[in-house]
Chains A and B, each alone.
Chain A
Amino acid sequence: MNWFKYSSPQTFYPLAGRMVPLFFALAALFAIPGLYIGFFVAPTDAQQGESYRIIFIHVPAAWMSMFIYVVMAFWAGVGLAFNTRLSSMMASALAPTGALMTFIALWTGSLWGKPTWGTWWVWDARLTAELILLFLYFGFMALQAAIDDPRRADKAGAVLALVGVINIPIITFSVQWWNTLHQGASVSLTRSPTMAATMLTGMLVMALAFWMYSIAASLLRARSIILERERNADWVREWREAAP
């Protein structure tokens, strides 16, 4: 298989067009059982009562907020290093969805913090680092929007995105490095999870739903960006004449 076949906007555009509905369908396919498990199968928490059910969106959104950032920085870096325009377009396409996931993580965290900690917000390491992540996404988008030449905007954005990657391990390890109000990890690769099996299942299924949604949304945005930027390219003209 030729992995570079889809590395040009021209070949990627129709491929993404086929993938968008597929990943939206997968997102729904995971969200339905995820929500069912979250509300009807997972038991009431012994300490937090029903308020803990926020976990079924809080943790998936927080995971995606960090994961999307790493993927965004990766594609921005590839675009910077190899001057491939589709990579940079993909980085731009990921940023708004990453910012949305970050906002959802902060919003749901705030609504979870009030009943469990007694406060909407606290300047602890985990929360502050996640807020910085939101500002990194905003900074990336604002910087790109402020530069007229798309290729220069790609390069400037890539530098910002790559420098900002340092924030991701800070978010991940913040609960170990500092004494935070935010709890430590309940799920890790080295220990068995410290939560009920049905709660964990619901959370992981919802994480898959958020993941599939993020892919669908980013690919759809990438399609728009391709058309907006390649408006004057030959392939767009030919494609438009063939299928108006």
Chain B
Amino acid sequence: MNWGSLAAFIAMGGYGTYVWGSFGVTVLLIAIEVLLLVARHRAARRQL
């Protein structure tokens, strides 16, 4: 276990902006891609 508290986990030893900026944007973009893919497939089926 690396972290004594939740605050320490969020702070990431002072690199929180960079680490969470990386993980956050990655998760966000992947979520957007999944939503777009599902919407596209639904639309493709609807328009048959």
Contacts and interface: CB of A to CB of B under 8 A. Distances in A.
Contacts of A236: 48
B22 interface: yes
Contact of A221 (B18, B19, B37): B37
B6 interface: no
Contact of A224 (B9, B12, B15, B37): B37
Contact of A58 (B3, B22, B38): B22
B4 interface: no
B41 A51 contact: no
Interface residues on A, range: 20 to 34
A50 B23 CA distance: 13
B7 interface: no
B33 A107 contact: no
Contacts of B48: 227, 231, 236, 240
Contact of B34 (A61, A111, A217): A217
B26 A61 contact: yes
A67 B41 CA distance: 25
A227 B41 CA distance: 8
A212 B40 CA distance: 20
B5 interface: no
Nearest to A54: B22
A141 B3 CA distance: 44
A115 to B, nearest CB: 5
Interface string B1-45: 111000001001111011101110110011001100110110111
Closest 9 CB pairs of A and B: A50-B13, A51-B15, A227-B44, A108-B22, A50-B12, A111-B18, A224-B40, A224-B44, A224-B41
Given A40-B1, A51-B13, A54-B23, 5 more contacts: A49-B13, A50-B14, A97-B33, A108-B26, A115-B18
17 contacts: A49-B14, A49-B15, A50-B12, A50-B13, A58-B22, A100-B30, A108-B22, A108-B26, A111-B18, A111-B19, A111-B22, A112-B18, A112-B22, A115-B15, A213-B30, A217-B37, A227-B44
